């Protein structure tokens, strides 16, 4: 098995749970404001940074909506760059 479960703990026991303001908050807000079915496209110079942005934005938007509302795709481009696609597939609470 590639992993093993250690235990279940309270959220307050997670190290570093309180973090600095989200790095990708501007993108997350733009995605929350998209119309359903629309896609925001961003270019990155580094695929690893694009993947970090994808995960952070998806998590932030889905947490705000309390359901899955964003689908993502990262496509590698020349010179280790990447294009990040963020597609809104559901409504956030302010749009219901």
What are the pLDDT digits (tens) for 9-54?
777 776 765 555 678 999 999 998 999 899 999 999 999 999 999 9
Q: Is residue 64 part of a domain?
A: yes
Q: For residues 14 and 22, what is the distance between their CA atoms, to the nearest angstrom?
A: 17
Q: Is residue 36 part of a domain?
A: yes
Q: For the chain, how many residues are written?
A: 96
Instruction: Tell whether the model's pLDDT for residue 96 goes beyond 60.
Output: no
Q: Is residue 60 part of a domain?
A: yes
Boundaries of domain holding 52: 21-90
Q: Is residue 49 part of a domain?
A: yes
In CATH, what number is assigned to the domain containing residue 58?
Answer: 3.30.110
Number of domains observed in the structure of the chain:
1
Q: Is residue 11 part of a domain?
A: no
Instruction: Tell whether the model's pLDDT for residue 69 goes beyond 90.
Output: no
Proportion of the chain above pLDDT 90, given as a percent? 31
Residues 6+ away with beta carbon under 8 Å from 5: none
Tell me the whole-structure pTM to 2 decimals. 0.62
């Amino acid at each position: 098995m590639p992993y093993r479960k250690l235990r279940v703990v309270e959220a307050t026991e997670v190290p570093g749970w309180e973090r600095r303001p989200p790095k990708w908050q501007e993108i997350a807000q733009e995605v929350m404001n998209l119309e359903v079915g629309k896609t925001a496209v961003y270019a990155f110079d580094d695929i690893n940074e694009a993947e970090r942005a994808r995960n952070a934005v998806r998590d932030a938007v889905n947490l705000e909506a309390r359901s899955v509302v964003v689908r993502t795709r990262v496509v590698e481009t020349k010179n280790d760059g990447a294009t990040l696609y963020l597609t809104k597939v559901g409504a956030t609470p302010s749009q219901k």
